[in-house]
Structure 1
Amino acid sequence: MDKKVKRYYQLKQQQKETEQELAVLREEILSHCGALGVTELEIGSYRVRAIRQERKEYDDQLLYEALPEPGLWRLASRADTGKVAGLIKLGVLSEEMVKEAVSVKPITLLQIERK
């Protein structure tokens, strides 16, 4: 069991290092695309795409205050974007009811494919 724990620890350390390196490379690639003013780029045998999206984030307190009845909070339990979207889709909530509780955060996804 000692070997398994040790190996797990080593892998978690590698994972942290890999994630840090990925974050740095991601920023460098996105900066390069931004400097060129492009969202798609072919480099060698790779195709790079920067995809802009918007992600909704809900404020717990503002969402709670926007709900028509406090019992609905049990269904959401916290400002989980998926749960709130589900309640909107079911017609339990409307976009208008929660508009003060939501902020839209722009994000950029990075996709790299081999040609």
Structure 2
Amino acid sequence: MEKKVQRYYKLKAKQKELEKELAELRQDILAYFAEQGKAESVIGSYKVKLVTQNRKEYDDDKLYQTLSDPELWRLLSKADPAKVASLTKLKVIAEEKISHTYDVKTITLLQVDKQ
């Protein structure tokens, strides 16, 4: 068991290193695309594409005040964007009713595919 724990520890340390390097490379690639004013390009044998998404970040207090029905709030338990989106899609919650309870955050996803 000690060997498994030791291996786990080493892999977690390696994972942290890899995540740090990935974050740095991602920042460099995003900066390059910003300089070029592009969202898509072929670099060598790789197709690189930036995809922009909007994500809602809910304010728990505002959402709770708006959805003060205890039964409905119990379904959420906290402002989980996926759960709120599901309840909105199912028409349990009206989008108009909660539109003031979140901010929309724009994120950029980086996609790299081998051609």
| Unaligned 5+ runs, structure 1 | none
How far off its partner does 1:83 sit?
A: 0.6
How far off its partner does 1:21 sit?
A: 0.5
Q: Which residue is 1:80 aligned to?
A: 80
Q: Which residue is 2:17 aligned to?
A: 17
**Which amino acid is the alignment partner of residue 36 of structure 2?**
L
Distance 1:51 1:89 in 2: 24
Show structure 1 runs of 4+ deviating over 6 A. Answer: none
Distance 1:33 1:58 in 2: 30
Distance 1:74 1:38 in 2: 45
Q: Which residue is 1:107 aligned to?
A: 107
Q: Which residue is 2:91 aligned to?
A: 91
Distance 1:106 1:89 in 2: 21
Instruction: Map 1:12-51 to 2 at 5 A.
Output: 12-51=12-51
Q: CA RMSD in A?
A: 0.9
2:55 is aligned with 1:55: yes
**What percentage of residue pairs aligned between the two structures are identical?**
53
TM-score (norm 1): 0.96
SS at match of 2:53: strand
How far off its partner does 1:71 sit?
A: 2.2
| Unaligned 5+ runs, structure 2 | none
How far off its partner does 1:36 sit?
A: 0.2
Distance 1:68 1:49 in 2: 42
Q: Which residue is 2:8 aligned to?
A: 8
Distance 1:70 1:58 in 2: 18
How far off its partner does 1:18 sit?
A: 0.3
Distance 1:29 1:57 in 2: 26
Distance 1:98 1:16 in 2: 38
**Which amino acid is the alignment partner of residue 14 of structure 2?**
Q
Distance 2:106 2:89 in 1: 22
Contact 1:64 1:70 in 2 (8 A): no
